[in-house]
Amino acid sequence: MTTTEELLTTLKRILPQDQVSVNQTILEQHSRDESYHTPSLPDIVVFPKTTEEVSKIMKLASQFKVPVIPFGRGTSLEGHVIPYNKGITIDFSLMNKVLEIREHDFLVRVQPGVTRTQLNKELKRYGLFFSVDPGADATLGGMAATNASGTTSVKYGVMRDQVRDLEVVLADGTVIHTGNMAAKSSSGLHLNGLFVGSEGTLGCFTELTLRVYGIPEYILAARASFPTVHDAVSAVVGILSAGIPIARVELVDESSMKQVNLFSDTDYQEKPTLFLEFHGNEAGLKQDVEFMKEIVADCQCEGIVFETDQAALNRLWEARHNLAYAYIHGYPGKKMMITDVCLPISELAGAIEHARKELNKHGLTGGIVGHVGDGNFHTILMIDMNNLEEISKADEFNESIVLYALERGGTCTGEHGVGVGKQKYQEKEHGKALQVMEKIKLALDPENLLNPNKIMKL
Ligand SMILES: Cc1cc2nc3c(=O)[nH]c(=O)nc-3n(C[C@H](O)[C@H](O)[C@H](O)COP(=O)(O)OP(=O)(O)OC[C@H]3O[C@@H](n4cnc5c(N)ncnc54)[C@H](O)[C@@H]3O)c2cc1C
């Protein structure tokens, strides 16, 4: 009997049969994510329902010395969940319950397989919402593991700012809690900060306690068009320096506005555009909006359209959220490669111009979009993965964008994470600190079984 057969038999003893699979289709579904990275099959996929089951799986994996890959919805973008070392993929989709809504504490306790839209549906009747909104309908476990963010982070922060506590199963099956329900704590080392963003390499999250917010009394959105991307970015810097409490500010360049109109059946102006949103009360926002209008006018704004009607608001943000899918749809047969640098705001305009120049220089197809309120932007490239020359141009382009950001105090990834795709930049970005990260990884996972060779190659 091979190790995998022995492992399979033992897994079927500790888990109900229907929660253990070697079905080819299931293996294939867990062999890739939404990235361009080459897929690879796991040996076995398991679907635990409880923390105890996850702990038993980890103990078994440690006994058999087989790798374990935690899996949310597989929407990651740098090969995070691809099991290149094979082993067991743990799919958390059956741990999808909202366990507790503490409306007066603005806290929720959820299982990791709950998705962000599922949570917001449940929170709505309490007048609450969960703020972090990546473009994909990801799980909260996956979002915590990648320290995800989205369009609202300029006001509400990223995933790390929302996590109060994580229940984590470690490589040896031990169960710990990394935090508590208090709004702040100076007790011990900040494990929340360490585990959030660890990409499944330090432990499996089996429960999350997250911060939620009251749904604003008044929401106003706007679409502002500009002659150039530079003008649009100057307007963003102007709005932020004026201290206007903007809730969302997203840049979409002209070629991406074309994709939006094609995919979302909208007829927006195909110019560099800012998607803006304000949260507050009507009276208070009136002044902010007047001030914002002056600032964008000073930046050559060519037109601004306001939306307050809920349906129009939803259509606007759906169009923005679906942008990556618009590109996938617009370029059949091509694969999506997305850059994700984040820089200090003062460096943003220069970085975006550099990206546009490099795109043209390499003759690559793609658009520039981003959460510019945070200094984070993406270049969405559509690549023919059978065309080696195009792939190497895309890699060169990616490298030039990242080096530009690192030389100006930025990072190679603002929100998507490292996975396998951004490993090659870790040494340059972190220097000796990378060795500290490797020591922490091996202290918690001495056999390197948890999502091996992601973030760092050991
Ligand atoms: C169209 C599109 C738009 C996107 N837009 C954004 C965006 O705006 N902002 C953004 O930040 N990201 C964005 N992403 C990337 C992606 O959605 C996020 O990285 C998301 O957090 C991944 O969540 P997931 O549930 O799909 O996790 P997966 O992709 O399944 O896993 C991601 C990582 O989390 C680990 N993991 C999953 N579950 C657990 C668990 N329970 N315990 C421990 N580790 C776990 C995995 O091992 C892996 O390393 C986008 C992706 C797509 C396809």
Rounded to whole angstroms, the maximal C-alpha distance in the chain is 74
Q: What is the pLDDT of residue 131?
A: 98
Q: Which of 146, 206, 251, 379 to mutate to test the pocket of ligand 1 (most atoms within 8 A of CB)?
A: 146
Q: Read off the pLDDT of residues 61-96 as tens digits, 9 standing for 90 and up.
A: 999 999 999 999 999 999 999 999 999 999 999 999
pLDDT value at residue 339: 97
Question: Scanning the structure block, which residue is given the tokens 């111009």?
Answer: 353
Q: Region 243-272: what's the mean pLDDT?
A: 94
Alpha helices in 81-173, H assignment, sequence order: 116-123, 140-145, 153-156, 159-162
What does the pLDDT look like over 13-52, one tens digit per residue?
999 999 999 999 999 999 999 999 999 999 999 999 999 9
Domains and their CATH numbers in the chain: 3-93 (3.30.43.10), 98-214 (3.30.465.10), 218-324 (3.30.70.2190), 331-430 (3.30.70.2740)
pLDDT digits (tens, 9 = 90+) for 223-233: 999 999 999 99
Strand ordering across the sheet containing 98-102:
98-102, 107-110, 204-211, 163-169, 175-177
Res. 1 pLDDT band, cuts 50 70 90: confident
Instruction: Take residue 274 and report the two structure tokens written for it.
Output: 């800012």
The whole-number pLDDT of residue 410 equals: 98
| Residue 305 main-chain phi, psi, to 5 deg | -115, 125
| H helix and E strand count, the chain | 17, 18
Ligand 1 center–CA 282 separation, angstroms: 35
Assess whether the C-beta atom of 148 lies below 6 angstroms from ligand 1: yes
Between the CA of 290 and the centroid of ligand 1 the distance, in Å, is 38
pLDDT at position 264, please? 87
Distance (angstroms) between ligand 1 centre and the Cα of 372 equals 20
- DSSP, collapsed to helix, strand or coil, labels residue 154 as helix
Q: Ligand 1 centre and the CA of 116: distance in Å? A: 11
Tell me if 327 CB under 6 Å of ligand 1: no
Query: Is 129 a residue whose pLDDT tops 80?
Result: yes
pTM, whole model, 2 decimals?
0.97
Q: Report CA(80)–ligand 1 centroid distance (Å).
A: 8
Token pair, residue 32, equals 């890739």
Mutate to test the pocket of ligand 1, among 71, 140, 159 (most ligand atoms within 8 A of CB): 71
pLDDT at 435: 97
When pLDDT is cut at 50, 70 and 90, the band that residue 312 belongs to is confident
CA distances from 453 to 22, 72, 81, 326, 456 (A): 23, 18, 11, 32, 6
Q: What are phi and psi of 167, to 5 degrees?
A: -90, 125
Is any ligand 1 atom within 6 A of the Cβ of residue 106? no
Q: What does the pLDDT look like over 375-392, one tens digit per residue?
A: 999 999 999 999 999 999
pLDDT tens-place string over residues 17-26: 999 999 999 9
Ligand 1 contact, 67 CB (< 6 A): no
pLDDT at 307: 86
How much is the pLDDT for 421? 97
Tell me the CA–centroid distance for residue 146 and ligand 1, in Å: 6
Reply yes or no on whether the pLDDT at 398 is more than 90.
yes
| Whole-angstrom distance, CA of residue 393 vs CA of residue 404 | 16
Share of the chain above pLDDT 70, in %: 100
CB-based contact 370:251 (threshold 8 Å):
yes
pLDDT of the residue at 400: 97
d(CA 130, CA 451): 28
| Distance between CA atoms of residues 169 and 174, nearest Å | 6
Across 127-131, 162-166, 312-316, least confident range? 312-316
Q: Are 438 and 430 in contact (CB under 8 A)?
A: no
Provide the pLDDT for residue 168. Answer: 98
Distance in angstroms (rounded) separating the CA atoms of residues 204 and 70: 6
